[in-house]
Amino acid sequence: MSPRPETPHLDIDTVLDNPTTNVLVCCGSGGVGKTTTAAALAVRAAERGRRTVVLTIDPARRLAEALGLSTLSNEPKQVPEVGAGGRGELHAMMLDMRRTFDEMVYQHSTPDRAEKIVANPFYQTISSSFSGTQEYMAMEKLGQLAATGTWDLIVVDTPPSRSALDFLDAPQRMSSFLDGKMIRLLSAPARAGGKGLRRLVGVGFGLFAKAVGTIIGGQMLADASAFVQAFDTMFGGFRERATMTYELLRSPGTAFVVIAAPEPDALREAAYFVDRLAGEQMPLAGLILNRVHPALADLPAGRARELADQVEQAGNARLASAVLRLHADRVDRAAREQRLLGRFTNAHPSVAVTQVAAVAGDITDLAGLREIGERLSGPGRAPVESAALG
Amino acid sequence: MWPEELSRARLHVVTGKGGTGKTTVAAALALALASGGRRTLLVEVENRQGIAQLFDTSPLPYAETRIAVAPGGGEVRALAIDPEAALLDYLEMFYNLGIAGRTLRKMGAIEFATTLAPGLRDVLLTGKVKECVTRTGEDGRHLYDAVVLDAPPTGRVVPFLDVTKAMADLSKSGPINRQSEGVVRLLHSADTVVHLVTIGEDLPVTETLETVTELDAADLRTGAVIVNRADPRRLPARSVESAADGRVDRVRIRAGLSEAGIELTDAQLDGLIEETVEHAQLLQSSEAALARLSARPPDGPAEPLPRLELPEMLDGVELGALYELAELLAGQGVHSNAVPRPSRVAEAARR
């Protein structure tokens, strides 16, 4: 199975140039090259004349340096070598989730109260190691950047979660942790929840609360409870912002690109994500299939292996047979990649796709990012179709 | 090669950076250790159902399930531990919650409790693993000759295994605390080893080395480093460097081909050469990364690490490929020291 011939092509430059597109969200599961792709898209957009900011999450050190970022920087910093001359500019920042969270707390509270919250051990756990915090803070930062109105295009990298869906769900999940219902149930189950709930879980909840208290210790519960009380007044503000960001993601000014590597897990996640975006009525631009290995010579794998056998029988031309066998491996790999993509396009025939050939080695400078940008906006197909089909 | 002392371990923890194929390697290891009449248990803890996908079965329930027969009459069972279910089990054991447990779960109360104390989640998971490792059958023998744990990725594995530290978050009394002492003993004993899966790229190798240092500091034993998707070494070693520089001896290739009576078009030859250059570049950067695994400190590890290699499965990892990988591990010395179990057929004949 190879991709359907009628699969629409994702034209990256059209997406980047569209003046009504102000937010470009790059999502996909971990390890597919999302951060690098986001950076390359931002560089390209800036050099095509747009005032661009890229919000990166946890980039590899050398990629960060290529963008002029050596530490977490919660405010965008201009990358001087990009887009010089024209209107285009590139600014980059690396999300500092703890600081973003602290700033939110200070903004929505009195200084006194904010101090108390930030010093609370439970807040420290939530703001640094809760599994959805990074996602939540990325969305918060996106909302802040959009609110300034100074950017033509905001390119957002999403956190390196296992599942591509995490960042859509995190704010909601986090909200339900912070809205205090649960902690009130645990710390004072008799008073919370109303009669209906008490009847529903009955005496079990009292026991559960007691058991949790025994297991995790009274201090932890007391901290959590103090935190929730202090947090209570801000909660409305938090929720309102999360809702605004969610609406921003659904607005026509936003485009999502889903990035996948040609691996079953990554494409499965991409498929879930595409379905989910459709369900939420969020605008999908298309799929970037990253790091493909198109065959570059028109010679089927089986034939290349036969020839390699012949060469080996005829004499000792090791280089010639090695080159043929390398090619045969590559054709097999390309065929597998196209088969995997074919499964995706069959299930999602209307999703536009572009393919990006793998680059050897890590991307460590702007030249590397420009090269990825070239490949992103290229025809996005294996140059030798027949060989790829093997 | 696989050092003999690893064959005595009963808990094999497998970690690696995301995307290195740690679940695949864990599954192949479980198969290799089960071969020759042993029984192993493959455990996952991240709610991913990665094992079920790999073995192409329906999602695993929270119960040990037989998933494969190993060469030479062994078997592999699998278990996906769900921390919420594990917590409910505990509570059920000590406090009779009845059906309220399910409602609590639906409300998110269990998730909330495990989030309040992040250590709790890990303690519950390792507690269940320990129970599987130490459980004995009717014959008094350990039910499993080896347990292979598909553990959290390198960034999180040491906090995950460092139960002592996690317990500091929790209450000093109570049932979980008592049980955790046994878990600590097991994880820090010679019965437990931590294997690291990497591929020939910079970041995974860096994470591997960092994790080795962290494991040492936490007094946990490092097992083998398994280099996954290793290059099949098609290109003659002396050609790699020049090819990576873009110099591939076109004349020599043509000569070698025509010696065998083969003529390729210029376009075909161009393509082959370009592919060879790309391959050599990749190979060179991967060899440079892997060299750090055997370098001396400060770049490399304090002690040389036993290293195993597995090739990339170009057709993808299906059940057949897992057996192939297991065989390749066995070929590098991987086995279990446990006495083989009588096969079912032999047992039936005796009765």
B303-324 pLDDT per residue, tens: 889 999 999 988 778 889 999 9
Please check whether residue A313 lies inside any domain of the structure.
no
**Tens digits of residue pLDDT in A83-141:** 767 789 999 999 998 899 999 889 888 898 899 889 888 788 778 766 678 888 888 89
Q: How many CB pairs under 8 A join A and B?
A: 208
Q: B230 lies in which domain range? A: 4-236+290-338
Residue type, B149: L
C-alpha–C-alpha distance, residues A185 and A192, integer Å: 6
Q: Which chain A residue lies closest to B273 (C-alpha atoms)?
A: A323
Do A82 and A90 touch, CB atoms closer than 8 A? Answer: yes
Q: A86 lies in which domain range? A: 12-302+321-382
What are the C-alpha distances in Å from A359 to residues A155, A327, B244? 22, 17, 13
User: What pLDDT does residue A168 have?
Assistant: 76
**Tens digits of residue pLDDT in B155-175:** 889 989 988 777 766 666 666
Chain B contact set for A30 (CB, 8 A):
18-19
Please check whether residue A275 lies inside any domain of the structure.
yes
Strands B65-70, B74-80: pairing kind: antiparallel
Residue A324: what are its φ and ψ, rounded to 5°?
-65, -40
Please check whether residue A115 lies inside any domain of the structure.
yes
What is the ipTM, given to two decimal places?
A: 0.85
Chain A contact set for B103 (CB, 8 A):
200-201, 204
What are the C-alpha distances in Å from B15 to residues B21, B92, B226, B255? 9, 31, 10, 47
User: What pLDDT does residue A1 have?
Assistant: 56
User: What pLDDT does residue A57 have?
Assistant: 87
Please check whether residue B130 lies inside any domain of the structure.
yes
Strands B39-44, A73-78: pairing kind: unpaired
Q: What is the CATH number of the domain that holds A48?
A: 3.40.50.300
Strands A89-94, A73-78: pairing kind: antiparallel
C-alpha–C-alpha distance, residues B329 and B336, integer Å: 12
Q: What would the mean pLDDT of B245-264 be, rounded to a whole number?
A: 93
User: What pLDDT does residue B23 have?
Assistant: 95
Do B209 and B305 touch, CB atoms closer than 8 A? Answer: no
Q: What would the mean pLDDT of A344-360 be, rounded to a whole number?
A: 94
User: What pLDDT does residue B90 have?
Assistant: 73
Q: What would the mean pLDDT of A40-63 be, rounded to a whole number?
A: 92
Do A344 and A281 touch, CB atoms closer than 8 A? Answer: no
Please check whether residue A191 lies inside any domain of the structure.
yes
- Closest partner residue to B98 (CB to CB) among A204, A329, A387 is A204
Contact A299 B264 (CB under 8 A): yes
Please check whether residue B277 lies inside any domain of the structure.
no
C-alpha–C-alpha distance, residues A29 and A158, integer Å: 9
User: What pLDDT does residue A274 have?
Assistant: 94
- For B16: left if phi > 0, alpha if psi spans -120 to 50, otherwise beta; the answer is left
Neighbours of B304 (CB within 10 A): 12
How many domains does the structure of chain A reveal? 1
Report which secondary-structure segment, H or E, holds A206.
Answer: helix A203-216
User: What pLDDT does residue B92 have?
Assistant: 72
C-alpha–C-alpha distance, residues A346 and A379, integer Å: 20
Weakest mean pLDDT among A335-349, A359-373, B255-269:
A359-373
**Tens digits of residue pLDDT in A300-319:** 999 999 999 999 999 888 99
User: What pLDDT does residue B141 have?
Assistant: 94
Chain A contact set for B109 (CB, 8 A):
182, 185-186, 205, 208
Question: Across chain A, how many H-helices and E-strands are there?
Answer: 17, 8
What are the C-alpha distances in Å from A183 to residues A315, B22, B110, B305? 77, 37, 12, 47
Chain A contact set for B53 (CB, 8 A):
264-265
Q: What is the CATH number of the domain that holds B79?
A: 3.40.50.300
Chain B contact set for A185 (CB, 8 A):
109
C-alpha–C-alpha distance, residues B274 and B271, integer Å: 5
Please check whether residue A312 lies inside any domain of the structure.
no
Indicate if the pLDDT at residue B268 is higher than 60.
yes
Indicate if the pLDDT at residue A176 is higher than 90.
no
- Closest partner residue to B109 (CB to CB) among A129, A182, A215 is A182
Q: Which chain B residue lies closest to A179 (C-alpha atoms)?
A: B112
User: What pLDDT does residue B171 have?
Assistant: 65
How many domains does the structure of chain B reveal? 1
